Amino acid sequence: MCGIAGYFQIEGKARPDKELLGRMINIIRHRGPDEFGAFFDDKCALGQARLSIIDLSTGSQPLSNEDGTLWITFNGEIYNYVELRPELERLGHRFRTNSDTEVIIHAYEQWGKGCLNRFNGQWAFAIYDKKRGTLFMSRDRLGVRPIFYATHGGRFYFASEIKSIFCDPNFPRTLDHKGLDEIFTWWTTAPPRTAFMGINELEPGAYLEINDNKIKINRYWQMDFPETYDRERSLDSWAEELHALLVDSVRLRLRADVPVGAYLSGGLDSSATTSLIKNFTANRIETFSIAFHDKAYDESSYQKQVAEFLGTNHHQIQCGYRDIAENFPAVIWHTERPILRTAATPLYMLSGLVRKNDFKVVLTGEGSDEILGGYDIFKETMIRWLWAKQPDSVCRPLLLQKLYPTLPLSANKARFYLETFYKAGLSEIDKYYFSHIPRINTTTKIKDYFITGIKHELADYDSLKSFEPYIPENFSRWHQLARAQYLEARSLLSGYLLSSQGDRVTAGHSVEGRFPFLDHRVVELGTRIPPWHKILGLKEKLVLKKAMRGELPPEITARVKQPYMAPDSNSFVQPDSPAYVAEMLSEEMLRRFGVFEPGFVQKLHEKCRSLSHVHLSFKDNMSFIGILSTQLLIDKYIEHFKPVKSLGRDSFKVWQDHSSAQ
């Protein structure tokens, strides 16, 4: 993992802005503090903040091909670079380093954009072709690594994080209210939109080309589900193939010239990942986890059980309300967007624990739920789809009570609540977002707090259609579970989990997360596995539990999934809560920032304070966190954004100045 940044002159040539590039790299040095590199000519500037993981001695960037006509700056890992290099050497390419970066540049030189289909990894990179005067950018299939871009004043900017682009003092910093609308619907924006006007995000599985001053974007990959499934193939057969592929995925993701650790939440996914590491090392595995003071969220007993079973050297960080409140502003600085839950904050603290123990790389279990059917939203979808076939049925909605048997209400009240909540949108079974209607209905309540002017501005904007352009033509012919999985992966996985709870919080402490379940081969296998081998009745991830049987304690493989969550509004309404909370939610600040109606927000704040001894509804919690995080975002990026000092030439290990103004 690294940080990349740069610009490309779309209109003519200009003197290299070396001070600007120095600021763009310095502000994201947390992504790669080990060394810095820069390339300049009169057309393009490429910058790099490197986290040294592969080829520690000669893998510095930016890097060129043999004749210096192609230059690359790269964030991420190409795990199969070891296999690709001999093929490229046989085709006549000569290597100066042992890095995966150099494999990319030669692969692009050999196969052009077709090289993307050969890579197994997680990446965002930019390649400048000096001879042709073009720029090529790409992002990995699932969107593990981010890349943002913008055009302003005849110049195309790009960077791993938005804050780098804002280092140009002439670039306007303004909230995109349509972006807020999408976040308060889907938890994320639909690319290319972001939370800021004029800032775009390259979508996962896509590449961007600038040629003849024209910007073109195309997809090279997306998830695809079959319309029919193999009904003859057994669960055992699928589980065996999945296990073999996961073993190989873990093998590739252990490739590093530094030690690799693992997150261990106590759930099936991270336990499976950690267990599979044991195939490739005789040393004790270093594992890391979070324990919550609030027992409603704590899974430490399961973490301890798996750590003892696998014999890991386990590290744990304790997280209380005050910890979440104190770290929350730093998290918003890194996420660069409003968030609706505090779950990113303990993960930010966890990556700090990893770094404190001198680790730069961790394997994690993200992606398993989306690919193999682990979330409650998928089981809810199956029940609601069945119910929608007979909306007057008395028996079918009773399945909801079996899904949520511990709801803290009496039997009659629980039944009424569940039926009322999940019946919403039951007649919209033909909508592409049918599976997500209950979640959307909860999330969109935040928009009730918008000031009247923003409500009027957004009156004709339908954020429900945001992801419609990404829906495949044959989507309606897929199984209902496949549709829900696709939409979850397209929206929440790449836009929220791999961003706000993934790259951004690990990068905040200079740590790289790796995701065996998001190997594209595992994902493509997962799409082919029949729905009844993923969810059977109300039992989730059947095929993964079968694949890992015997390698983990039966209590872990048989355990019902506990969604990873953290205390939300309770963290900010304690007697010792930091002063910024009251300041950001004060009438003065709410009026100054001009997004939320002060009277409504203050009533919500008072409700949260008065009920701090209980767990509030999802609606109130998400509203509180969404409002507070938006206020912090405005404060940090619009009101008080200050570009850091530029790195001087002496700070760069690589300094390639090919400009006429040397």
Q: What is the pLDDT of residues 439-467, one digit of tens each?
A: 999 999 999 999 999 999 999 999 999 99
Residue 396 has pLDDT above 90, yes or no: no
Catalytic residue among 2, 44, 167, 608: 2
pLDDT at position 388 is: 86
Name the pLDDT band for 661 (thresholds 50, 70, 90).
Answer: low
pLDDT at position 413 is: 61
pLDDT at position 249 is: 98
Name, in order, each residue with C-beta under 8 angstroms of 169's C-beta and a sequence gap of 6 or more.
Answer: 643
167 classed as catalytic = no
Residue 484 has pLDDT above 60, yes or no: yes
Out of 55-69, 153-167, 177-191, 625-639, least confident range: 55-69
Name the pLDDT band for 372 (thresholds 50, 70, 90).
Answer: very high
Name, in order, each residue with C-beta under 8 angstroms of 387's C-beta and a sequence gap of 6 or more.
Answer: 393, 396, 397, 422, 423, 426
Name, in order, each residue with C-beta under 8 angstroms of 522's C-beta and a sequence gap of 6 or more.
Answer: 242, 245, 246, 249, 367, 371, 516
Place of tokens 């091909």: 65
Name the pLDDT band for 414 (thresholds 50, 70, 90).
Answer: low
Maximum separation of any 2 CA atoms in the chain, in Å: 78
How far is 199 from 157, CA to CA, in rounded Å?
A: 9
Q: What is the DSSP string of 444-455?
A: GGGGGGB-HHHH
3-state secondary structure of 305: helix
Name the pLDDT band for 503 (thresholds 50, 70, 90).
Answer: very high
Span 329-343, pLDDT tens digits: 999 999 999 999 999
Name, in order, each residue with C-beta under 8 angstroms of 578's C-beta and a sequence gap of 6 or more.
Answer: 325, 326
How far is 52 from 265, CA to CA, in rounded Å?
A: 27
What letters, b where the CB count within 10 A reaches 16 and e where it falls short, cover 106-143? bbbbbeeeebbeebbbbbbbbbbbbeebbbbbbbbbbb
Span 333-371, pLDDT tens digits: 999 999 999 999 999 999 999 999 999 999 999 999 999
- Quote the pTM value: 0.96
Backbone φ and ψ of 606, nearest 5° = -65, -40
Name the pLDDT band for 618 (thresholds 50, 70, 90).
Answer: confident
Place of tokens 């490229």: 88
- The answer to whether 584 touches 595, Cβ cutoff 8 Å, is no
Name the pLDDT band for 405 (thresholds 50, 70, 90).
Answer: low
How far is 184 from 193, CA to CA, in rounded Å?
A: 14
